[in-house]
Structure 1
Amino acid sequence: MNRINTRKVKVGSVFVGGDAPISVQSMTNTDTRNIKETISQINRLQNAGCEIVRCAVPDMEAAEALKYIIKEVTIPVVADIHFDYKLALNSIDYGVSALRINPGNIGSIERVKMVAERAKDKKIPIRIGVNSGSLDKELLNKYGKVCPEALVESALKHVKILENTNFNDIVISIKSSNVLDMIESYRLISQKSDYPLHLGVTEAGTPWRGTIKSSIGIGTLISEGIGDTIRVSLTGDPVEEVKVGIEILKALQIKKQGIEIISCPTCGRTEIGLINIAKEVEEKIKDLDKNIKVAIMGCVVNGPGEAREADIGIAGGKGVGLIFKKGEMFKKVKEEDLVEELLKEINKM
């Protein structure tokens, strides 16, 4: 798929937009003022594959905590700020790699200009984050409701404020909890602007429901060539956000990271305990750093073909399984030995 070309900005060590790979982001849900806990969570996120992390900065104590957090982590840190321009100025001085603000809600144009000039001096970008839950009343009155056109107009209004201060190192996000509105908003903004786009379905929900909504919203846009960086918003451990984001990119064959597992849903033809086998294999190989495809199939109908298409795989029979490697049948194994033998061969690859 061809990606729509956007400008390129630099967030710490990570490029966003242009020809840069689509990056996966997350946001800490710790109290930023709890320095130790926040550092621990950032490290867990990075180990899961997160490339950019955002921290809430509700007050000056949280801003000052960033000074110590940034020294202890190697991933780019973005300060998420609302209303108080002084928090933005201090966060820049403490070494953040980017800001997430809405210029229209941090005060007068003079204050916006101060933030933009400081960010420009430090060579850090600003992400404008428009959210369907916080659309200004003027636009709600104009359009009568939250809609893609209103969200896009809001985003462009904030962009114009920064452009008027001669600041152009901008990333845009337009998030909605309504998947269809989110998709259409990004389609519209991609036609009106060439700034890089940060994709996400906001307040998507619990890991189960939020994964579905995010996969549809983010996946649809990326398949159309729209989007430069993503964040899956889930109610829970943010490490799950990273895992889902990576899986979305892997499903679209954009990112190759870790082992890809394909497994059949099982049916009445299945004669081995495939569900438990698949769960056990997935758990035991989740941390392996190998770019291979593993097929776990339950019967002789599609099993052998899918197993042959993978780098390694199994096709189940009655109490037994066939292990395939690189398209060729490798060995026949008893069901009770199947996981152990499959793992042995995976570790050899």
Structure 2
Amino acid sequence: MTAAIRPWRQIQRRKCRQIMVGKVPVGGDAPITVQTMTNTVTADAKATIEQIRRVEEAGADIVRVSCPDVESTAALREIVRAATIPVVADIHFHYKRAIEAAEAGAACLRINPGNIGSADRVREVVQAAKDHGCSIRIGVNAGSLEQDLLEKYGEPCPEALVESALDHARILEDHDFREFKISVKASDVFLAVAAYQGLAEACDYPLHIGITEAGGLRAGTVKSSIGLGMLLWGGIGDTIRVSLSADPVEEVKVGYEMLKSLGLRRRGVTVISCPSCARQQFDVIKTVEVLEDRLSHITTPLSVSVIGCVVNGPGEATMTDIGFTGGGKGTHQVYLGGVPAHRLKDEGIVDHLVKLVEAKAAEIERAKAAEAVVA
């Protein structure tokens, strides 16, 4: 079931131009994309491709790989051929790596044009991007601001990040290149949010948002959720990366959970569950833990509520596709489409719910396929 759209639930996304990262649109009216970055040695094409396979299965729309040396860009051609999603080549200072990455088939170059040397070098990189259909991401980071800006402002601040981003953007514009997006990341939530807010007002380019170096899985998820949540709620952000010291698959999962929680994009099962208390009639925590793992293969958007007792259970069940509420004497209530459907004993709760979800997902997909045929 889909909750009704209320004025207080609607997010008005910032209007901006749209670019293409390979075949994936970013900005404009395109869905907010979720991306991640590999942490393998890029020159090891086999290991990098294997990791990309895993993030593709998790739902990543775009993946970035670091290309610090010629061995990395040499492996990039094989990696790009094997990937089913666009590959972004992360370049910092060496302009030749950017040209090699474009020639190898990278969909996008992450590079700051002001950092790669002379005007001739910038011109060569821009021409390579044009020749090979690459977009560019200008990636400003509070930890690597230009020295002149640090001297001007005294420290990393929102104004310095925005000025750096606009300076780099101007270089690309001067070369008649506008297929780019911008990021102004910082590990400090307040600094990052303020910088993105300032940049959103100063230009109409798509914005890649993230809180950089956010930390480990738990701390980084919390920190990123606060910062990106503020930006997304304010309509800012066209593509996101959750930077975690964790498996890149976790970055993708957290990214989707953020978008799902704000109603900006849905993928897979949304589980609504209670924290459990003395009123619970079954082990809610263990049930949800196993259920989420068992349902990770479902990509169809739908909702499931798992509530331990009848205090909030029936109410939550009316707002989800499938509901499960704990009842007395080991007998519980199952809801389908918000309506009580049947009772269930303690045994086989997870197996039963998984079957119901799989059946509902299949029903939804059949309906989509039928609509597509009619259209």
TM-score (norm 2): 0.91
Q: What are the equivalent positions in structure 2 for 1:65-214 lying under 5 Å apart?
A: 65-214=75-224
The equivalent position to 1:333 in structure 2, one of 325, 344, 353, is 344
Question: Superposition pairs for residues 29-44 of structure 1, below 5 Å?
Answer: 29-44=39-54
Q: Is the 8 A contact 1:321 1:338 kept in 2?
A: no
Instruction: State whether structure 2 residue 246 is matched by structure 1 residue 236.
Output: yes
Q: Find the aligned partners of 1:170 and 1:79 in 2 and give their Cα distance.
A: 14
The C-alpha deviation readout for 1:91-147, integer Å capped at 9, x for no partner, is: 111111010001121111110111012212222211000011111221112111111
CA distance in 1, matches of 2:86, 2:135: 12
Structure 2: tracts of 5 or more residues without a match: 1-10, 361-375
Letter in 1 for 2:101: S
| C-alpha distance in structure 2 between counterparts of 1:290 and 1:94, whole Å | 34
Cα pair 1:311 1:326 within 8 Å, conserved: yes
Q: Distance in 2 between matches of 1:15 and 1:289?
A: 21
**2:34 aligned to 10, 13, 24, which one?**
24
Shift of 1:153: 0.8
Aligned length: 349
How far apart are the structure 1 equivalents of 2:29 and 2:138?
Answer: 21
What are the ranges of 5 or more consecutive residues in structure 1 without an aligned counterpart? none
- Percent identity of the aligned residues? 50
2:259 maps to 249
How many Å separate the matches in 2 of 1:277 and 1:74? 34
Question: Which whole-Å CA distance do the structure 2 matches of 1:340 and 1:228 have between them?
Answer: 38
Distance 2:49 2:229 in 1: 30
Aligned to 1:303: 313
1:336 counterpart SS class: coil
Question: In the alignment, what sits opposite 1:50?
Answer: 60
Look up the equivalent residue of 1:199 and give its one-letter code. I
**What are the within-5 Å matches in structure 2 for residues 216-295 of structure 1?**
216-295=226-305
Q: Distance in 1 between matches of 2:266 and 2:152?
A: 45
- Give the deviation of 1:36 after TM superposition: 0.3
Question: 1:271 offset after TM fit, Å?
Answer: 2.9
CA distance in structure 2 between the aligned counterparts of 1:337 and 1:51, rounded to whole angstroms:
36
Q: Look up the match of 2:225.
A: 215
Question: Tell me, what secondary structure is at the counterpart of 2:79?
Answer: helix
Q: Tell me the amino acid that sits aligned with residue 236 of structure 1.
A: A
User: Does structure 2 conserve the Cα–Cα contact (< 8 Å) formed by 1:272 and 1:320?
Assistant: no
Q: Are residue 321 (structure 1) and residue 324 (structure 2) matched?
A: no
How many Å apart are 1:233 and its aligned residue? Answer: 0.5
Runs of 4+ in 1 over 4 A off after TM superposition: none
Specify the code of the residue in structure 2 equivalent to 1:248: M
- Secondary structure at the residue paired with 2:187? coil
Shift of 1:166: 2.0
Alpha-carbon shift at residue 327 of structure 1 (Å): 1.4
Displacement of 1:43 after TM fit? 1.0
Equivalent pair of 2:317/2:338 in contact (CA under 8 Å): yes
Inter-partner Cα distance in structure 2 for 1:90 and 1:338:
54
| Mapped partners of 1:347, 1:196: distance in 2 | 37
**1:295, 1:33 → 2: CA distance?**
45
Q: How many Å separate the matches in 2 of 1:228 and 1:341?
A: 38
Give how far 1:289 is off: 2.9
Cα distance between partner residues in 1 of 2:359 and 2:147: 61
CA distance in 2, matches of 1:326, 1:87: 54
2:155 aligns to what SS in structure 1? coil
CA contact (8 A) 2:323 2:338 kept: no
Name the aligned partner's letter for residue 322 of structure 1: Q
**CA RMSD, Structure 1 to Structure 2 (Å):** 1.1
Q: Deviations over 1:252-284 (max 9, x none)?
A: 111121111000111232232111111111111
SS at match of 1:290: coil
TM-score when normalising by structure 1 = 0.97
Q: Distance in 2 between matches of 1:157 and 1:268?
A: 59
- Residue type of the partner of 1:260? T
8 Å CA contact 1:85, 1:115 repeated in 2: yes
